[in-house]
Amino acid sequence: MQLELRWPTHLDDELGRQIWAVVTDVVADGGAVGWTTPPSRAVTDAWVNELLSDGSRLVLACRDGEVVALGTWSRLPAEVLAHNGEIRRVMVHRSARGLGLGRRITTALVESATEMGIEQLLCDVRGNNHAAIALYRSLGFQEYGRLPDFLAVGEHRFDRVRMYLPLQMDPAAVRHGSRAEGPGASTARSGAAPSQTAPSPPSSHSEGRFPPDPGEPDAAIAT
């Protein structure tokens, strides 16, 4: 068995078929990847073509030449956010679970974002996906918030877990945190209770150095 990672730059018919097969398998198994019912081939082709045209990165894990896992990262769209990125739709076909591909895909996405100068990498996880949360934490991600009952799958409601990974900081960046200083700063009116905020923590992530592996959850791991 041969496993390799690929970073496609265009979508042909065969590649589209293989990606669609992974997506439909994961969604049919209840994976938290943004669809609640298996999408059509036209929908997944449109999704991949949009990714490849807007500067996002798509990584594929192939077993003996066949796509069995994938994941993406994209820059955040607004000008004031574009130095940050987001991991989305990491998924592994049921036939390929137990091979460590969820970790391998996610690590490759982190390394790619770092090479592209991304400062912080975000991801969302469905609250009941404890294996995915543990995987992200093992790679250095930290939780920064939960939105209760935010995600809906039919009548079921789940928390939206927000996580982030500090990667690097532009040496020219001036860090203001939440202090009332810098462009657009304002101060509270007299008598108003000030917000209680802590200084921004320094980045503790070093490229290529991750904490110990707690296991190998290979289900769909990101919304």
Please compute the mean of the pLDDT values over residues 197-217 and round it to a whole number: 46
Please compute the mean of the pLDDT values over residues 168-191 and round it to a whole number: 91
Q: What is the distance, to the nearest Å, from the Cα of residue 13 to the centroid of all Cα atoms in its chain?
A: 26
Q: In the prediction, which pLDDT does 190 show?
A: 79
What tens digit of pLDDT does each residue of 72-93 get? 999 999 999 999 999 999 999 9
Q: In the prediction, which pLDDT does 63 show?
A: 97
| Angle of CA points 118, 158, 156, to nearest 5° | 140
What one-character-per-residue DSSP string does 131-171 give? HHHHHHHHTT-EEEEEEEEEEEETTEEEEEEEEEEE----T
Mean pLDDT for the chain?
89
CATH class, 3-166 region: alpha beta
What residue segments make up the domains of the chain, in order of their start?
Answer: 3-166
Q: In the prediction, which pLDDT does 195 show?
A: 58
Confidence of residue 208 (pLDDT cuts 50, 70, 90): very low
What one-character-per-residue DSSP string does 162-215 give? EEEEE----TT----TTSS-STT---PPTTSPPP--PPPPPP--BTTB-PPP--
Confidence of residue 30 (pLDDT cuts 50, 70, 90): very high
Q: In the prediction, which pLDDT does 14 show?
A: 97
- Lookup: tokens for 222: 């990101």
Please compute the mean of the pLDDT values over residues 130-153 and round it to a whole number: 96
pLDDT at 164 over 50: yes
pLDDT at 215 over 70: no
Q: In the prediction, which pLDDT does 192 show?
A: 64
Q: In the prediction, which pLDDT does 209 show?
A: 39
Q: Is the dihedral of CA 179, 183, 184, 186 positive or negative?
A: positive
Please compute the mean of the pLDDT values over residues 191-210 and round it to a whole number: 51
* Number of Cβ within a 10 Å radius of residue 69: 27
> Going by C-beta distance under 8 Å and a sequence separation of 6 or more, which residues neighbour residue 163?
122, 123, 124, 125, 133, 136, 137, 141, 142, 143, 144
- Lookup: tokens for 55: 């500067």
